Amino acid sequence: MDLRYSDSDEAFRAELREWLTGELPKLPAPPHREDWPTRRAYDTDWQRRLYDASYAGLNWPKEYGGRGASPSEQLIFLEETTRARAPYVGVNFVGQLHAGPTIIAEGTDEQKRDHLEKILRGDEVWCQGFSEPSAGSDLASLRTKAVRDGDHYVVTGQKIWCSFAQVGDFGELLVRTDPDAPKHKGITWLMLPMHLPGIEVRPLKTALGSSEFAEVFLDEVRVPVSCRVGAENDGWRVTNVTLSFERGTAFVSEMVDAMRLVEDLSPYANDPTHRRELGHIAAELDALWALTKRNITQAAKGGVMGRGAMMIKLPYSELRQRLGELSLRVLDRASLSIEDFDGLHNGEFVEERLRTLALTIAAGTSQIQRNIIGERVLGLPKEPK
């Protein structure tokens, strides 16, 4: 792959930059982090603007409403939207970055028709219901059960840490459909309409004080069989498709944002030790960006992510925490306040530090990422049971 941008890439960049310059001043002020209805409205409004200007689903095929953009255009989009401080994908995260791509890879024609365009237009928000109180790292031990009753599955159980459940229209739901099969064999992947009777969403508070995720209780919820993605009991394979997007491409835009934070922190870092540490972080981000380019190119060719995607989450999430920790040392006493004061932009750094504490847990802990890299990438022996 030629990593330099071509003339047509630069033309795409100029056109996008002009659009962003015209569009961003029209946006209302960003909502408070705990005002969920307004957050949903704000994020989906931005999604709709992207869709109307043909910038939604840049990497999605044209037949599903995406732009079918080249890998370099996708990277330019991320660079430019981050540089212009455009809104982040927000509540559209799950739908845009892994539910939609899973439906593209594994869904039926009807499922593609019913959901993909709506996700891209910001008309449909998704959440994820994979983890359970006793099934996080060992996700395949999940116990939420689904019993077939004619054209429906009757689902009972509990999910936890479901990001955006309080504003979700649909959820990625993993259920056990064969309790007698080995644990990886009896799982099914369902699209859960969040408005169905028997679903109760109870928000959970994070260290930041906002309810980014929720517990979801399911009591004999009747989910149509037509909501099944992939075959019954083949859900573990479909889950791995979802996770390859979640741990691979979903971090890409965050990575560009980390580069921006490095730039923003740099004027405050006057101590030589701090500057050296910041330089190391910037260099490592640069290396990860090169790996990202490779991952995006592979995804563009094959649809599903390759080995590079299994590698990226671990170094990125740990690096992001180092950046957060360094930013607090650089800000010194200003890091005690989450509100900006005296012309400093301390608030964003403090908020980021608290938010990124969870990065080495969400989407698979660092220990589990090390196991995956050891076993699936390096071919080392499996950990003892």
Ligand X SMILES: Cc1cc2nc3c(=O)[nH]c(=O)nc-3n(C[C@H](O)[C@H](O)[C@H](O)COP(=O)(O)OP(=O)(O)OC[C@H]3O[C@@H](n4cnc5c(N)ncnc54)[C@H](O)[C@@H]3O)c2cc1C
When asked if residue 213 is in the footprint of ligand X (CB under 6 A), the reply is yes
Spatial separation of the C-alpha atoms in residues 93 and 127, rounded to whole Å: 8
Spatial separation of the C-alpha atoms in residues 2 and 34, rounded to whole Å: 44
Contacts of 44 (CB under 8 A, 6+ apart): 91, 92, 122, 123, 125
Of 116-124, 244-252, 268-276, 364-372, the window that binds ligand X (rule: CB under 6 A) is 364-372
Sign of CA pseudo-dihedral 223, 166, 57, 365: negative
When asked if residue 162 is in the footprint of ligand X (CB under 6 A), the reply is yes
User: From the CB of 139, what's the least distance to ligand X, in Å?
Assistant: 7
Which tokens sit at 88?
């982040």
**SS3 at position 173:** strand
The answer to whether 246 is a known catalytic residue is yes
Closer to ligand X by Cβ: residue 68 or 315 = 315
The residue of the chain with the least Cβ separation from ligand X equals 136
User: From the CB of 79, what's the least distance to ligand X, in Å?
Assistant: 25
When asked if residue 354 is in the footprint of ligand X (CB under 6 A), the reply is no
Of 109-117, 265-273, 293-301, 360-368, the window that binds ligand X (rule: CB under 6 A) is 360-368
Kindly write out the interface string for residues 105-134 of this chain, putting x where it contacts ligand X by CB under 6 A and - elsewhere.
-----------------------xxxx---
Contacts of 233 (CB under 8 A, 6+ apart): 177, 178, 181, 185, 186, 187, 188
Of 49-57, 74-82, 108-116, 358-366, the window that binds ligand X (rule: CB under 6 A) is 358-366
Among 30, 358, 373, 375, the residue binding ligand X under the rule CB under 6 A is 358
Contacts of 16 (CB under 8 A, 6+ apart): 55, 76, 77, 80, 81
Among 163, 166, 253, 327, the residue binding ligand X under the rule CB under 6 A is 163
Ramachandran angles phi, psi of 204, nearest 5°: -115, 145
Query: Active site residue: 232, 246, 277, 352, which one?
Result: 246
Please name the residue ranges forming H helices in 223-271.
Answer: 235-247, 252-265
When asked if residue 136 is in the footprint of ligand X (CB under 6 A), the reply is yes
Spatial separation of the C-alpha atoms in residues 24 and 157, rounded to whole Å: 43
Spatial separation of the C-alpha atoms in residues 110 and 90, rounded to whole Å: 27
Residues 175-204, interacting with ligand X (CB under 6 A): none
User: From the CB of 26, what's the least distance to ligand X, in Å?
Assistant: 31
When asked if residue 161 is in the footprint of ligand X (CB under 6 A), the reply is yes
List beta partners, residue 213: 163, 204
Kindly write out the interface string for residues 253-292 of this chain, putting x where it contacts ligand X by CB under 6 A and - elsewhere.
----------------------------------------
Interacting residues toward ligand X by CB under 6 A: 128-131, 136-137, 161-163, 213, 358, 361-365, 367-368, 371, 383
Catalytic residue list: 246
